Amino acid sequence: MTTKQRFEHILGWFEANMPVAESELHFDNPYQLLVAVMLSAQCTDKRVNLVTPALFEAYPTPADLAKATKEEVLGYIHSVSYPNAKAEHLVQMAQRLCEVYHGEVPDSVEELQTLSGVGRKTANVVCAVIWNQPTMAVDTHIFRISERLGLTTHSKNPLQTERQLEKYIPATIIPKAHHWLLLHGRYICQARRPKCEKCGLSLWCREYNKREK
């Protein structure tokens, strides 16, 4: 089976079995999504969704967040991972958002990455989810299962995975494909105990077929 054929089969299965695939983070606008994705780094979406309602009520706009102190923000997000660093990044992000972008979340990966605490993955998520741009965000789930399935080969870092996936996934479905792979890695192809017995992709999975042989 060629890599192209593997992609076609796997994407076809997702399209048929998971036609709707969306972010599990709760948000109402680009600013809220940006904050939520920043908080989700090495933290579960479930935990983020627990802390953001109060955070957004206290700081409904970037201008409100820009006026806050790190300590004030920390009081709302102390239960997420790395709360001290994230509190500082959130305040600095909001300040630059107001100073440079007039409080509007930029719609390009390059500009988003000029904001404090915003890396390539976060920028890709925001551009894909809000503006449906063909930006493939690679987190630990996607990095892991892309290699297991055989969608990538000997990828050493998220950027290499991103490039290999973008080579074979049509640009029009990259935003949805990100969620397909993410959710599959989160609930089925888990790190320690992949649920192969429940997986509909085993027929085309490189790791599964290698193990079966």
Active-site residue set: 121, 139
User: Quick one: tokens of 177?
Assistant: 């494909």
CA separation for the pair 19, 70 (Å, rounded): 41
Residue-wise DSSP of 90-141? HHHHHHHHHHHHTTPPPSSHHHHTTSTT--HHHHHHHHHHHH--------HH
> Reduced to 3 states, what is the DSSP secondary structure of residue 189?
coil
Question: Encoding tokens for residue 198?
Answer: 């429940």
The span from the CA of 170 to the CA of 56, in Å, is 35
